[in-house]
Structure 1
Amino acid sequence: MRFASYRRAAPRYRRFCGVCVFGFAAFAAHAQDQAPSGGSAVATPTGPLGAPPASALPVAGVSAPASSGTTPNVRALTITPSISVTETLTDNVRLTERNRRADAITQISPGITVSSGIGRIRGNLDYRLSGIFYARDGSSNNVQQSLSAAGNAEVIDNFAFVDASANISQQSRSAFGTRTVDPALDGGDQTEVRNYNLSPYVRGRLANLANYEARLGYSLTDTSTKNADVSTTSGSLSVVGDRGPGLFNWSADASRQAYKYEVGGRTVNDRARGTLFINATDQLRLSLIGGREAIDYPNQPRDAATTYGYGFDWRPNERTNLSGQREKRVFGDSHSLVFQYRTARTTWRFSDTKDVSTGFNQAPVGSGQPGATYEVLFQQFAAIEPDPVRRDILVRQYLLQLGVPAGFLTLQRRQELAVSYQAVRQTYTLTASQSKVQQLDRNAQVNPITDFSNPVRLRGLSANVSHRLTPQSNLDFRASIDQSRESGGQSRSTDLRALSLTWSGQLGGRTSYSLGARHVWYDGDNSGYRESAIYGTLTRSF
């Protein structure tokens, strides 16, 4: 049996994981000391391979029952072990167009969820180790890790803090490799991506005139293929004027980000800017921006330029928000446009951003917006998980399968539209996205498989319908289309379409189940396949 994903982890990343887990355990112990006596809330279990639990996906096509109980907004220390068993019967385990081979896949996924909601340490950790076993091909057996963790520590009262987060997931190496909707089916393009972040910072006030924050950061992204590995060090200082209500306000910030690639050298981005805010009315705020920016690419002259721009933020009422920003940057123009509107039963959100991105499913750097799909899911998940920190992890777990390969600096324009409608027993969600990605630093990534030196356009569309059958069970239907197109070069393209129907529910307070079926169509330049499967999952928390 070969356990490739786990075995290839380099010693320095295993040590980093150990430090993170030890640190969180210490945080948890400290939080437990400060927790009030009495029973603690039971944490919501998560599904295998780091996917959200069936009961936590009311709008994603794989959801299960709404919780019958009420979850408190503030949780004491909670440690919840769990185990999931998933059985999948597929008619095309090798994802080939010809010589299709059926197989039965068994996934056994022990895991642990830790949550701390009071005291100096607040955060959540969800870790799963999934053993995947193939009935007809034991040589393909493997182990996959899944980790989603985020926490904050208040080191000195109202002054010094530390943010930390970690994620491990299975992602595509390339926008043009053989893709799949199930990590247990590897078409040769899958890699394990491990991302760790640590950021200490201090914040306070300056003579009752302004608020400041000084922050250091370290981020490490490691993949099984190594060609996309990158570590990032950063430092930033921001000062925001605070003299009370008035016509004008101001802010100033400076930052440095250094990206060190496993293959391709080091890239440094320096930026400083000032912003003048004009409070035109109680609902409308305007801004003028000016500054300086420079990017140092390996083996290239320093690229520097004066930056300038403008922005606005219009909030006519508590349900409507329209904001925008446009800047002239060293690499060209950047912009951000966000529209949000909600009613008692609907949520609408549109965003259009263009900025620098570092991969690993991150929104463009500096956009300040996590994305339309994220926002809609974050609001929809509120009924399942009121705690905003745990809800953030829950949504990000579900969205980890989306995005572009990790590990390089790109110029990305992304447009997203997300609409949801909540009826009495149904939830309807429609999401659409389009991204245009081009690598900025061509020396940073030399692997031609993941080459983004030519512009690549990524499109996605999904529709979800969730129907609550009983207070303890749901029926969910999902249809999705994902496309990638290369402009110039080899003009590569891929299309992935999928349909799924899932019935899920609760068996008591600690056991959940889901049964489903799917059909997938994939077409690429050099490969294509059709795959159908039925699957079932049983999850037990302790």
Structure 2
Amino acid sequence: MAWGQSEERTAERRIFSIQPLLSISGTATDSLSTPQTGAKDRALIGVISPGLSLRSYNGAFRGSLDYSMDGLVYLRTSQRDRVQHHLTSQATVNLLDGRFLIDVRATLGQQARSAFSAEQSVSSNLGNANQAQLANLMVAPRLRGIVASVASYEFSATAVESRVKNSIIGDGRSGQVAAGFEGLGGAHRLINWNLSANAQRTSGNGQARSVATDSVLAGIRLRPNPDLNLNLQAGKERSNYMTLNQVTASTYGLVLAWAPTERTTLNADWRRHHYGNSHSLGFSHRMARSSWRYADSQMVNSPGAVGASGRLTNYALYDSIFTALEPDPVKRDLLVRTYLQNNGLNPDALGNSGFLSGAATMTRMQTGAASLLGVRSTATVTLSQGKTRRLDPFSSVVDDLSGGGLLLQRSGAFTFSHRLSPASAVSLTVSEQRSSNVTTSQATDLKSLLASWNGRINPYLSYSANLRHARFNSAQRSYQENAVTLTLTQQFQ
């Protein structure tokens, strides 16, 4: 951890940092594509990935950006060379002494088009027709303050845009404006009141209908003890998710936040809607060297990626563990990322890859995860299940749900890592993902095994060696793939 601590001290002295990096990797695979004949398509893949990492610790502008561009060169195969992009960024601009804030989120990456395609890959470098480049952008300004020393207010607007390259399935956009008022004291008073109004408009590609939802709610907030907060709300809403014209109906709900200890939290939100009830439940508990989390949510999804977000990640689990060690979120971010890198752990989620939908859907996602931190070893387990049905009966968009029924996706992963020395570690990940639709009799099953050796040659030069085995089964096609990948990454200061 010496290098990580050195990097942390450097970050403390900076309010803004830029770190370019360059990664070069080579992969030998015995199944680049999956031809109908079942024959092996052996190939070599060379990848050159220049990247950039930005961090801002300034009080008025705090955020991060990680970008890389992969140039893929294919040898001993007819597949054409290509370029793919990866971007993860988030930022918050704090103006007018915290009264006006602007949140910005942007992502760019690879996404599975269909959960039932016969061309499923365990790696985005194994290009296939089922793989698409998905871009997401969210901008949300907020204005908050106090009215006549009686109530606090917050006005907000949110714009979200999703775009899929070379496809109209998955394109979506939404806009939302909201206003909220609450008696001064907020959640710290024994009894308080609140009012809220919301208007949202969503749409997809040319074949998808535009959907409008509006709501007005009044609520009473209760705080029977310092650890428990309750918010009872009721009002009216109107929407056209399941009808051609907007339908007005009553709605009500309960929001609960309970934190019996500094290490345990429980958050719940249940709401009644005429088109289907929604809920969210989140539980987390951390111990000295472990983290346990469970999440259960049911909500409406706009056109775009379904089932690929909201999953628990290695980063989230270890961020919870290190909260007691480093309360400052900026410093903890560096600490967590350094730890994951030194132990050969991928910070991203180990859940299902989801699919693209061109219409409004109702999805229930359940995810459980646990992480155990030893002196030199770590173990992480994630389990997830997603159930999705189409909500809009009038949509003519052709996707995985156009035939009706319930799409069920289940996935599980287990990762064990062991640090060989302060500069190297080995890890093993076993994962499986299953997708099925009883109505259409479609089903796929993808199993994978990944063994990795990661290390650092010096504080800025790292390496990794991976061995991978994957098995895919479906009614249309089945295949096995074996691959070895060597990667060298140079960071520049």
Partner Cα separation in structure 2 for residue 363 and residue 241 of structure 1:
37
In the other structure, the counterpart of 1:67 is: 4
Give the TM-score of the pair, scaled to structure 2: 0.88
Q: Is the 8 A contact 1:310 1:326 kept in 2?
A: yes
Percent identity, please. 28
Over 3 Å counting, the alpha-carbon distance change for 1:278 and 1:298 in structure 2 is: closer
The match for 2:162 among 221, 225, 228 is: 221
3-state SS, counterpart of residue 467 of structure 2: strand
Cα distance in 1 between the residues matched to 2:402 and 2:335: 31
User: Is the Cα–Cα contact under 8 Å of residues 67 and 472 in structure 1 kept in the other structure?
Assistant: no
Deviations 1:400-433 (A, max 9, x none): 9733425542111111111111111111111111
Task: Give the corresponding residue for 1:242.
Answer: 184
CA distance in 1, matches of 2:347, 2:415: 18
CA pair 265-325 structure 1, distance change in 2 beyond 3 A: closer
Cα shift at 1:186: 2.3
**Following TM superposition, by how much is the alpha carbon of 1:449 offset from its aligned partner in structure 2, in angstroms?**
4.8
Q: Is the 8 A contact 1:267 1:298 kept in 2?
A: no
Report Cα offsets for 1:39-62 as digits up to 9, x if no partner: xxxxxxxxxxxxxxxx9xxxxxxx
**By how many angstroms is 1:242 displaced?**
2.7
Q: How many pairs align?
A: 474
In structure 2, the residue corresponding to 1:265 is in which secondary structure? coil
Match of 1:94 among 27, 33, 37: 33
Find out whether 1:80 has 2:22 as its counterpart: no
User: Which has the larger displacement, 162-171 or 277-286?
Assistant: 277-286
Q: 1:214 is matched by which residue type in structure 2?
A: F
The SS at the match of 1:92 is coil
**Quick one: structure 1 residues 106 and 166, their matched pair in 2 at CA, closer, same or farther if it must change by over 3 Å?**
same
Q: Deviations over 1:45-101 (max 9, x none)?
A: xxxxxxxxxx9xxxxxxxxx9835351575422122211111110011113471111
The alpha carbon displacement at 1:258 in A equals 1.1
Letter in 2 for 1:104: L
* Cα shift at 1:503: 0.4
Q: Which has the higher strand share?
A: 2
Match in the other structure for 2:469? 519
CA shift digits 1:179-223 (9 cap, x unpaired)? 212101123210000111222221112233333221112211000
Change (3 A) 1:501 1:445: farther
Corresponding letter in the other structure for 2:491:
S
Note if contact 1:221-1:407 (Cα within 8 Å) is conserved in structure 2: no
Distance (whole Å) between structure 2 residues aligned to residue 495 and residue 66 of structure 1:
41
Q: Which residue of the partner structure matches residue 490 of structure 2?
A: 540
CA pair 467-218 structure 1, distance change in 2 beyond 3 A: same
Please give the residue correspondences for 1:260-339 in structure 2 after superposition, counting only pairs within 5 Å: 260-263=203-206, 264-297=208-241, 300-339=244-283
- In the alignment, the residues of structure 2 paired with residue 276 and residue 219 of structure 1 have an alpha-carbon distance, to the nearest angstrom, of 30
CA contact (8 A) 1:173 1:450 kept: no
Cα distance, 1:120 vs structure 2: 2.4
Deviates more, 1:387-396 or 1:201-210: 387-396
Does residue 1:151 correspond to 2:91, yes or no? yes
SS at the partner of 1:157? helix
Tell me, yes or no, if the aligned pair for 1:466 and 1:475 is still in contact at 8 Å: yes
Question: Would the aligned equivalents of 2:242 and 2:393 in 1 still touch at CA under 8 Å?
Answer: no
What is the SS of the residue equivalent to 1:398? Answer: coil
Distance 1:342 1:381, change over 3 A: closer
Residue identity opposite 1:521 in structure 2: R
Equivalent-residue separation in structure 1 for 2:352 and 2:365 (angstroms): 17
Alpha-carbon deviation of 1:528? 1.5
Which string of whole-angstrom CA distances, capped at 9 and with x for unpartnered residues, describes residues 96-138 of structure 1? 4711111110011111222221152222222211111111135
Equivalent-residue separation in structure 2 for 1:392 and 1:446 (angstroms)? 45
SS of the equivalent of 1:387 reads helix
Match of 1:530 among 464, 480, 484: 480
Partner SS for 1:71: helix
1:495 aligns with 2:445: yes
Counterpart-to-counterpart distance in 2, 1:359 and 1:471 = 46
2-side partners of 1:159 and 1:90: how far apart? Answer: 54
Q: Which amino acid aligns with 1:209?
A: V
RMSD, aligned CA? 3.0
Distance 1:525 1:272, change over 3 A: farther
CA apart distance, 1:450:
6.0
The CA distance in 1 between the partners of 2:424 and 2:24, in whole Å, is: 19
Q: For 1:298 and 1:109, how far apart are their aligned partners in 2?
A: 45
Which region of structure 1 is more displaced relative to structure 2, 446-455 or 339-348? 446-455
- Name the structure 2 match of 1:387: 330
Is the 1:208–1:243 contact (alpha carbons within 8 Å) kept by the matching residues of 2? no
Aligned partners of 2:171 and 2:303 also within 8 Å: no
Instruction: Identify the match of residue 390 of structure 2 among 423, 435, 439.
Output: 439
Q: Which range moves more in the overlay, 381-390 or 318-327?
A: 381-390
Instruction: Specify the alignment match of 2:116 in structure 1.
Output: 176
| Contact kept in structure 2, 1:460 and 1:482, CA below 8 Å | yes
How many angstroms does 1:243 deviate by? 3.1
SS in 1 for 2:363: strand
Letter of the structure 1 residue corresponding to residue 127 of structure 2: D
Q: Which residue of 2 aligns with 1:376?
A: 317
Query: Against the structure 1 CA distance between its residues 154 and 471, is the aligned structure 2 distance closer, same or farther, given a 3 Å change threshold?
Result: same
Distance 1:79 1:106, change over 3 A: same
1:451-490 alignment to 2 at 5 Å? 451=402, 453-488=404-439, 490=440
- AA partner of residue 61 (structure 2): I
Q: Could you say if the C-alpha distance between residues 208 and 389 of structure 1 is closer, same or farther in structure 2, counting changes exceeding 3 Å?
A: farther
Distance change in 2, residues 1:85/1:452 (3 Å): farther
* Kept in 2: contact 1:124–1:389 (CA 8 A): no
Q: Aligned equivalents of 2:147 and 2:226: distance in 1?
A: 26
In structure 2, distance between residues paired with 1:423 and 1:350: 22
1:323 to partner: Cα distance:
3.1
1:211 and 2:211 aligned? no
Helix, strand or coil at the partner of 1:405:
strand
Q: Please state whether the residue corresponding to 1:340 is helix, strand or coil.
A: strand
Partner of 2:373: 422
Q: Any conservation in 2 of the 1:146–1:167 contact (CA below 8 Å)?
A: yes
- Say which structure, 1 or 2, has more relative contact order (CA 8 Å, 6+ apart): 1
Q: 1:83 to 1:381 in 2, by over 3 A?
A: farther
User: Are the equivalent residues in 2 in contact too, given 1:310–1:325 (CA < 8 A)?
Assistant: yes
Q: Which residue of 1 is the match for residue 137 of structure 2?
A: 196
What residue is the counterpart of 2:199 in the other structure?
256
Displacement after TM superposition at 1:333 (Å): 1.9
- Where in structure 2 are there 5+ consecutive unaligned residues? 341-345
- Unmatched 5+ residue regions in structure 1? 1-54, 56-64
Is the CA contact (8 Å cut-off) linking 1:84 and 1:109 kept in structure 2? yes
